[in-house]
Structure 1
């Protein structure tokens, strides 16, 4: 709490000082062809500078600059270049119309790059995904993230099911999630990639292995940073989708600008609902008499899901005292019926989990803070998070929907329970960036997070209430270089991690280790790393990065989740040495043809590796430390674009994760030494193809046809060394094909998308062989008005 007070006082004290800082102006508008169609990927840049941007899929651009005279260059392959000199003293809107050039250009000088391209070409291994171009057909973020190189999303069922995201072989809580640089948990522990409104999102940055110190996190395997839209004008973006298994989804994102004061109000709402009543395939159930067990294909009968996220944000941009200042309030709610435990043989029929969360936050950004070329970004946030697990039925259910009366409840096999978990979360973040000159820059980041754990039970008198807390302080310092006209980029950083848990729970000490860890403790850990990128020429660049990272256990791992995860308060932090080496480049063999490729090799040497251990008899999980795991792998991606019409992409990933514990605690040799880590995909890939027809049926009408294919090689469910290799349980190979069609008209004002997922109706598995839905159909209608 003392760290929180210090950051808050710093925020208040330094706020007035920034009032005298320099102002900036913004030039924005649209670029269209002579036919009126918006032109994407047009370069809009300031002559003789590196300042520039690309237009988005609706032909819109936004460029920040100092007030004064500037020469603007607008270029696109196949169109006549526009060059104009402007005297810009205040925010200005300016549209351009480009004429096609019938002469094939031998070369085009690119003055600026999109934010997505700049991130991909940085010193770290990172995937940058442009969500805007696919927003019309996306149901949720996991769809697009799961198709990227080195990433595997493993869902436990249908809509709203728990999922696990793996980056280069490290998964679960080793991966951290952010929204605009702030932990996604701030919106509530029930808000995930799967239920975040997609209309809110501009792009997604996925850092693999090495994570920038500026994010202020203790991620070990990587980080996912979701960047929201930052529009300059009024707009309304609303969508509704309907699909198989009684699935419905509605998103709304809007912005209203009061012209006189400049006040900006941004409401956001996202709603998801599904019964998830898809058919299970070949599962054990009872016959009609209830006396015999047979294998059949019953529908899921207790897997309903509802989620709501509502947010209102208000603030101002482009003022002399702040580039951006917003305050926001949000509410999230999730109601979920529980159909299974952590293994498919555990069937529930009445248990459920409900949660809701309130959040208030403020963020402040200022360029030229205190001095020229210094930028401050500060955030304060507090979340009230409350979840309830209801487990009051003394029943044992079967997949046919029937049950027998038992002497224990469904999940834990104990007394009737209405278990409450209140987990308030406080986050304070300050990021100070200083650009000494065009070649050297510094970044200082401080992040405080405190998670409480007030738990009690309304019915189970044997349960011992407690109020635990986990507090983390993370400080990061980064020095960056840009040399040889930007061809070389170097980054060096150090991080200090301070872990301060306060454990008070004492129940189930033989399972949770609470008899060994009690009270308040503080430990300090050091991390450091570096990254280098060198561009020989556009088709060939190399980058290498290294990090000694530390990952502190989160509240879910230490304290359980109240339903399917036991606490383990004796967990130790993970430590890892991560190395990435990549070759990448962009090749333009002819006009309107672009090829991008990247190949990446990586090593992860992890100590105290935290992984889930399944207790099949009880259907429960617990996070445990594995002394050492080595992960090595290689991945590659190739993509092709012709004229913004035809896009092709294919990627493949190989990840070899092996146990490095030679001896057990009793000194005997470990049977699992050098075994593949079980229940983890090690070879997988995906491919995509799409084609866009322009000006179809009417001026500005676009039809996009696309298909995707995902493949996962089979892998063992448990350790290779245990049991007979030929008969042991394994998750079979997966071959999932999806197809979609999207039509947009009135220059993207109206959009309708149709999709068929898993159209071959393959039996799809993931975590612990939990079945996912078969063939499904979805339709989405979206309207965008600005």
Structure 2
């Protein structure tokens, strides 16, 4: 700790030598068309520099420049470019009016960058996804995230099914999820990427391996931060979709601003329902007599899913005492029939899992807090989360829908059970950011998470109730440098992880380890890292990053989930050394043509790696530690845009995860040493193409056609060292094609989208060879009024 602090102090002192803070002034204003309508995404740039920005949805911009004479270039495709030269010595307001151009612009130079592009070009390895251009056709975030470089989302079935998301080979609970910097779990354990309303989202940031200290998390493999819309105007955004397998989806997001008091009210509602009655392909079932087994294509018969998320947020913005202060209350509910266990051969017909959660939270943000250029961002949240697993039937079901009576329940193979899990969650987050000058910035972050685990059973008298608690404190400090007129950016950070579990459960000690781990313990672990980025030119930049990260086991891993996951209270925290290195750049070969590329490599050295172990016979699983796993890989992405009309993109990812345990606990050599970790895709890629036609049939309309393709190389289901080569179970290669068409008119007020997923109707497998739906159709209508 002392050594790292000294290093940071020395770097701070050295960086000051030869670096003189430059005074800057602010230009701001509004850009409209000839009719006074605000224009968004207009580029405002200082000629012959890389300094620039875009207008927001209200046509407003803010740009920092050096004092003196400068020429502003204001441009937007379809409008005549404006150049204005001024000698500016103090903050100034400059408004512009753009005239429509009757011909295509001969030259449009894009200097400014969107927030999404700025994040991608930062020091960390990160995917940044802009939701606005595709919100009309997007049904859930999993579909979008699954097409990005280095990411694989593996769903266990249809709508509402459990899924496993991996980033650069690390998956499951190694990945943390955030909503505006707060853990997504605060909305309830039933809320995920799959059912979060897409209408509320502005962009998604996916950090790979190295996670900023400002997020205040103990993620090992990466983190996903979902940024919601922060509009400053009244609007109503509502959508409804209907699709195959009796699927329905409805979202509402709105904002109302009371002009006299400035009170802001934001209601949000998201509803999802599906019967998920798609056909299984080539599964074992009984014939009509019930006496013989055959292979057929039956429909799923017990997989209904319903989810609801409702939230109301009330607050104010831009006040003297607060830049933003909001309080919110939310309720989420999930009802899910369970069709299979952890493996497809385990069929359920009556078991179900229900959950509901209430949340209250408050968020406060203030610039110039105590000191000028110091910003405070703090939040407090408490969630009452309750889940119930009903497993009361003594039956064994088959894929034909029939069953035979038995003497054990479906999931756990024991007594009838109505298992309750109450997991109250309290989260406190405080972030203090201080900008010393244009070259040096400091950030201090504190995160507290406390999860309870009150478990009991209404029917199973053999079950021993308990009330466990898992708490963690995470402190993070980072120092940011911006040198050489922004060409070089450096970040140095340090994290302290404090783990404080209080284990009280004692049942099934041979399985859960509860006999060896009891009572309250406190341990702390140290993490640290660095990120560097240097821009040679717009077409070439390099960046490297490293983090020694620690991930503390979460409640699901330590304490089970009440259905098919056993507790393992003896789990140890994971730790990993994560390295990233990459090249990226943007190239403009001609008018209207833009290429973006990125290529990177990574290495993960993981100790005490937490992975799931599946018992195929029982269809259950639990999480265990693997002594060591090494993951290395490379990935690349290329994107092309022509005048905002044609977009092409392609990416490929190679991830090689190997078991590094040479000897078992008894000292015998391990047969799986240096084997690739099974049941995990290691080579995959995707491609997409979109074209937009304007003013089709109606004025101010857009017609967008799109097609996406995803490919996954085959991989082994179990360790490759086990069994003969010809008899090994493996998940075959997959080729999935999707197509969509979106039509918008009245400047995006009315929107309709039609989508066909897996239109070739290929058999799609995923986590542990669980089948996903075949060909499916979905139609969505969206109304946006502002």
TM-score calculated relative to the size of structure 1: 0.93
Question: 2-side partners of 1:121 and 1:716: how far apart?
Answer: 36
Question: 2-side partners of 1:98 and 1:221: how far apart?
Answer: 49
SS in 1 for 2:315: strand
SS in 2 for 1:142: helix
Deviations 1:686-739 (A, max 9, x none): 000010001111111100000000000000010000111221110111100000
Deviations 1:742-784 (A, max 9, x none): 0000000000000000000000000110000000000000000
SS in 2 for 1:531: strand
Q: Which residue of 2 aligns with 1:279?
A: 279
Q: Which residue of 2 aligns with 1:7?
A: none
SS in 2 for 1:726: helix
Cα distance change on mapping 1:341 and 1:31 into 2, 3 Å: farther
Cα distance change on mapping 1:489 and 1:92 into 2, 3 Å: closer
Q: Which residue of 2 aligns with 1:108?
A: 109
Q: Which residue of 1 aligns with 2:771?
A: 771
Q: Which residue of 2 aligns with 1:505?
A: 505
Q: Which residue of 2 aligns with 1:3?
A: none
Q: CA deviation at 1:367?
A: 1.1
The answer to whether the 8 A contact 1:431-1:446 is kept is: yes
Deviations 1:401-437 (A, max 9, x none): 0000000000000000000000000000000000100
The answer to whether the 8 A contact 1:26-1:62 is kept is: no
SS in 2 for 1:768: helix
The answer to whether the 8 A contact 2:80-2:105 is kept is: no
Q: Which residue of 2 aligns with 1:148?
A: 148
Question: 1-side partners of 2:500 and 2:144: how far apart?
Answer: 36
Q: CA deviation at 1:99?
A: 3.2
Cα distance change on mapping 1:553 and 1:298 into 2, 3 Å: same
Q: Which residue of 1 aligns with 2:316?
A: 316
Question: 2-side partners of 1:310 and 1:153: how far apart?
Answer: 26
Deviations 1:231-260 (A, max 9, x none): 111000000000000000000000000000
Question: 2-side partners of 1:136 and 1:318: how far apart?
Answer: 31
Q: Which residue of 2 aligns with 1:194?
A: 194
Question: 1-side partners of 2:92 and 2:454: how far apart?
Answer: 49
Q: How does 1:293-312 map to 2 (within 5 A)?
A: 293-312=293-312
Question: 2-side partners of 1:38 and 1:338: how far apart?
Answer: 51
Deviations 1:537-565 (A, max 9, x none): 00000000000000000000000000011
Q: Which residue of 2 aligns with 1:21?
A: none
Q: CA deviation at 1:504?
A: 0.3
Q: CA deviation at 1:53?
A: 3.5
Q: CA deviation at 1:42?
A: 2.4
Q: CA deviation at 1:535?
A: 0.4
The answer to whether the 8 A contact 1:77-1:105 is kept is: no
Matched, 1:181 2:185: no
Q: CA deviation at 1:39?
A: 6.5
Gaps (5+ residues) in structure 2?
Answer: 1-24
Matched, 1:388 2:379: no
SS in 1 for 2:738: strand
Q: Which residue of 2 aligns with 1:355?
A: 355
Question: 2-side partners of 1:759 and 1:40: how far apart?
Answer: 36
Q: Which residue of 1 aligns with 2:488?
A: 488
Q: Which residue of 2 aligns with 1:549?
A: 549
Cα distance change on mapping 1:101 and 1:634 into 2, 3 Å: farther
Cα distance change on mapping 1:688 and 1:305 into 2, 3 Å: same
Q: How does 1:171-570 map to 2 (within 5 A)?
A: 171-570=171-570
Matched, 1:730 2:730: yes
Cα distance change on mapping 1:126 and 1:780 into 2, 3 Å: same
SS in 2 for 1:565: coil
Question: 1-side partners of 2:405 and 2:506: how far apart?
Answer: 31
Question: 1-side partners of 2:331 and 2:46: how far apart?
Answer: 42
Cα distance change on mapping 1:643 and 1:783 into 2, 3 Å: same
Question: 2-side partners of 1:214 and 1:687: how far apart?
Answer: 33
Q: How does 1:574-585 map to 2 (within 5 A)?
A: 574-585=574-585
Q: Which residue of 2 aligns with 1:757?
A: 757
Cα distance change on mapping 1:46 and 1:332 into 2, 3 Å: farther
SS in 2 for 1:556: helix
Q: Which residue of 1 aligns with 2:21?
A: none
Q: CA deviation at 1:97?
A: 3.4
The answer to whether the 8 A contact 2:708-2:738 is kept is: yes
Deviations 1:94-129 (A, max 9, x none): 78434338586567362x321101100000000000
Deviations 1:30-73 (A, max 9, x none): 756x79999764224689998854357xx65454589xx99975
The answer to whether the 8 A contact 1:277-1:301 is kept is: yes
Question: 2-side partners of 1:472 and 1:433: how far apart?
Answer: 22
More deviation, 41-50/173-182: 41-50
SS in 1 for 2:569: coil
Question: 1-side partners of 2:454 and 2:73: how far apart?
Answer: 58
The answer to whether the 8 A contact 1:77-1:592 is kept is: no
The answer to whether the 8 A contact 1:738-1:757 is kept is: yes
Question: 2-side partners of 1:620 and 1:103: how far apart?
Answer: 62
Question: 2-side partners of 1:117 and 1:764: how far apart?
Answer: 33
SS in 1 for 2:142: helix
RMSD: 2.5
Q: CA deviation at 1:593?
A: 0.6
Cα distance change on mapping 1:83 and 1:269 into 2, 3 Å: farther
The answer to whether the 8 A contact 1:541-1:583 is kept is: yes
Q: How does 1:589-628 map to 2 (within 5 A)?
A: 589-628=589-628
The answer to whether the 8 A contact 1:35-1:699 is kept is: no
Question: 2-side partners of 1:663 and 1:516: how far apart?
Answer: 24
Cα distance change on mapping 1:266 and 1:49 into 2, 3 Å: farther
Q: How does 1:14-33 map to 2 (within 5 A)?
A: none
Q: CA deviation at 1:93?
A: 13
Q: CA deviation at 1:685?
A: 0.2
The answer to whether the 8 A contact 2:663-2:669 is kept is: yes
Question: 2-side partners of 1:415 and 1:780: how far apart?
Answer: 45
Cα distance change on mapping 1:60 and 1:772 into 2, 3 Å: farther
Q: Which residue of 2 aligns with 1:672?
A: 672
Question: 2-side partners of 1:384 and 1:559: how far apart?
Answer: 17
The answer to whether the 8 A contact 2:348-2:410 is kept is: yes
Q: Which residue of 1 aligns with 2:10?
A: none
Question: 2-side partners of 1:378 and 1:612: how far apart?
Answer: 35
The answer to whether the 8 A contact 2:553-2:573 is kept is: yes
Q: Which residue of 1 aligns with 2:17?
A: none
Question: 2-side partners of 1:554 and 1:143: how far apart?
Answer: 26
Question: 2-side partners of 1:439 and 1:678: how far apart?
Answer: 46
Q: Which residue of 1 aligns with 2:652?
A: 652
The answer to whether the 8 A contact 1:713-1:734 is kept is: yes
Cα distance change on mapping 1:63 and 1:179 into 2, 3 Å: farther
Q: Which residue of 1 aligns with 2:22?
A: none
Cα distance change on mapping 1:598 and 1:406 into 2, 3 Å: same
Cα distance change on mapping 1:396 and 1:27 into 2, 3 Å: farther
The answer to whether the 8 A contact 1:78-1:105 is kept is: no
Q: CA deviation at 1:322?
A: 1.0
Question: 2-side partners of 1:588 and 1:368: how far apart?
Answer: 39
Question: 2-side partners of 1:466 and 1:92: how far apart?
Answer: 63
Q: Which residue of 2 aligns with 1:630?
A: 630
Q: CA deviation at 1:25?
A: 11
Q: CA deviation at 1:78?
A: 6.8
Matched, 1:782 2:782: yes
Question: 2-side partners of 1:499 and 1:276: how far apart?
Answer: 40
TM-score calculated relative to the size of structure 2: 0.93
Question: 1-side partners of 2:92 and 2:397: how far apart?
Answer: 64
Question: 1-side partners of 2:207 and 2:354: how far apart?
Answer: 32
More deviation, 89-98/388-397: 89-98
